[in-house]
Structures are given as C-alpha cells and as structure tokens.
Amino acid sequence: MSHVSQSPSEVLPRRAPPLTIEHEMLGAMRVPVFADVERAALAIASHVRHTPLLRSPVLDALVGAPVYLKAECLQITGSFKARGAFNALLALSPEQRKRGVVAYSTGNHGQAIAWAAHQLGVAATIVMPVDAPKNKIAKALKQGARVVHYDRTRESRETIGMALLAETGGVLVPPGDHPDVLAAQGTVALEALRALPDGEVGELGTFAAPCGGGGLSAGCGLVIEALAPQARMIAVEPAGFDDTVRSLASGRREHNAPDAVSLCDALQAATPAELPYAINGRFLQAAVAVTDDEVAHAIRFALEELRMVVEPGGAVALAALLAGKLTLNGRPTIIVLSGGNIDTALLARMLDVTV
C-alpha cells in the first residue's frame, strides 16, 4: 500500500496555549497530568484487564511498518471505557457512593459505569440515546443500572443528566469532562508503551486512537508527551462526526449536524468535550476522518486476518491505517482498537451472512 506524505483528510491543529502547571484548572475542572495516569494505573490494576499488544505480519506487510494493535476490544465490558469508569467511581467518597451516580453515554461509557457501579455497590442511572445498540442497553440493564432514553436529534443528554442529578442527588460522571476518567483512559497508552520491545518506545512514530468526545486521545496524550514525545498523536473520527478534525482546523469547538449518521455509534458526540479539547489542542499532531465503507472494511479485516471482533467506533484508527490516511514512514505504530461491542445483526450484514 502506498502512502502520500500527508493525506488530504489529515488536519493539523492550531496549537492551544500549553497546559504546563501541575493540576491547572479549566474552569471548575482539574486538568490531569501524567502522574494522575500513573496513579490511575495502580488504582485500577486489579479491577480491569491488561489487554494485549498484538502484531499481524499481514498488516505489517500491507502498510510497510511494524504495527502494534492495542486490543481494548478484549477489555472488561468490551471497551476501554471500563478504565475511566472504575477509576472515577473509586475516587468517590463514601457519602457520594451512597447518593449514586448519573452518566450520559452513547453506549460504552454507560455500560462501563453500570458495571463499575455494580462492582462497588453504587446505584447508577444512565442516559442513553433511544437508538443506541440494543446489546449495549441490555448490558447496562443487566448490571442493575436504570436506563433513561432520549432522542439525540431533538434532546440534550446533558440537560436530561442535570435534571436527573436534581432528582436523585447523585454525582455526575461524564464520559469526557472528568479528570479521573481521562487519567484512567491514558492507561491504554501507558500499558501499550510498557509492552513495546526494548528500544521501540524511542522509535515510535505514530499513536492513533478513535475519537468521540476526545477523552481517550487526551488521556493517552499525557502519556505520549511524557514517554514518547517524538511520536505523532493522531485522532481518528467517523465522517459526519468529525468535530475534532474541524475544531483543530478552526481553533474552536465545532458541532456536528444534528441529523448526522454513522455506523460508529460509540463516537457520535455532538462536539468535543471541553476538558479533552483543551488537552488535545496541546498534544494532537493531526486528526483524520474515515467513511463508513472504510470502517466496514477494517471490521472485516480484523475478523478475517486478526480473528478479532471490533465494533465500528473501535475500528476507525485501523480503518484510517488501511485506507492510507496515516503517514508511517516505516516507523513503529500503535493503533488502538477501542471496543468490540458490535451488534451481531450489524456484523452479519457486514459479512453478508445470516445469524
């Protein structure tokens, strides 16, 4: 596969002012730093799965570089979101745990909060879109959470979440604007770098991860800056929900069209979350958007060549790689497969088989 020096869909950011002070505040939010990622790694180590870093000779040959796949699709709850959810709930005081938690989510964060809350004996209310995949809704309900639905085209999940907080007295745990969530999402990169062969951390050329609200990229960016500053941080989004791509180009938080559609249900944020956007403006070297067809190809490739099930939102970074939208220059690359919670009927349609 040939690669041009810069893909036409690759957008370079306008740099935001650096966040260099230990625990600087962004409004009322504490800005996490690398030490918070290290603390989170210790806190959640016995509760979440240390996912493997995999290689594929077929993939290496296709792209002409060593590629390491961080398989968060094998994580507990089926996505990296388990990390941030558990860390955030562990940080609650006993009094806060008694009041319960409220979270809004397109699926994976809500499912992870429901799981973490069940593990810790905390009541959880999850706000999820009515069109969220049924398997994600079912898994949240199975963990004992209360699920409140909304119409993403007409209603604001944030507004509904605020109303539920007033009703329940609970603590809000959003998927992006929460320092303990972001710090733990960074453990994805911390584990991946620690698993690289000797000498390859300093040779790492690219770290690419899926991006919805931006929390995964932000948390991982803290790690890449500290341990592999020579590597390029790339955020990958679905076309139609490329708010980070456009925000980095314009220098302000952009919104997606209310009627936008994508296979990638896990990445359908309306706009970059405030805290991740501030951090990503410092760390991201580029942002890339991929089409549904490119995502479907990546899902089939993962199943047929890697023998792994990856959901659409979890496959976008692999999709960008396979579509030639990442410039590797032969250097080692880490690709995050962020989730595996694909609806079986959707997977069957992609594979043109019947379940």
Cβ-contact 302, 219 below 8 angstroms:
no
Q: What percent helix, strand, coil does the chain show, rounded to 5?
A: 45, 15, 40
Token readout for 64 is: 């002409």
pLDDT at site 189:
98
pLDDT tens for 115-157 read 999 999 999 999 998 988 888 999 999 999 999 999 888 888 8
Summary mean pLDDT of the chain = 91
pLDDT at site 2:
30
Average pLDDT on 55-80 reads 97
Q: How far is CA 38 from CA 79, 165, 182, 183, in A?
A: 20, 31, 12, 8
In the chain, the domains with their CATH numbers are 25-80+179-351 (3.40.50.1100), 81-172 (3.40.50.1100)
The alpha-carbon radius of gyration of the chain (Å, integer) is: 19
Strand partners, 103: 126
pLDDT tens for 297-342 read 999 999 999 999 999 999 999 999 999 999 999 999 999 999 999 9
Distance from chain centroid for Cα 318 = 13
pLDDT at site 14:
46
Average pLDDT on 101-124 reads 94
Segment holding 165, helix H or strand E:
helix 157-168
Average pLDDT on 91-117 reads 94
Neighbours of 94 (CB within 10 A): 6
pLDDT at site 4:
29
pTM for the complete prediction? 0.91
Q: Measured over all CA atoms, what is the biggest interatomic distance in the chain, rounded to whole angstroms?
A: 57
pLDDT at site 13:
54
Looking at the chain, the whole-number percentage of residues with pLDDT higher than 70 is 93
pLDDT at 241 over 60: yes
* CA–CA separation, 169 and 219 (whole Å): 28
pLDDT band of 96, cuts 50, 70, 90: very high
pLDDT at site 18:
45
pLDDT tens for 200-226 read 999 999 999 999 999 999 999 999 999
For 198, which DSSP code? T
pLDDT at site 10:
60
Angle between helix 215-227 and helix 187-195 axes, rounded to 10 deg: 40
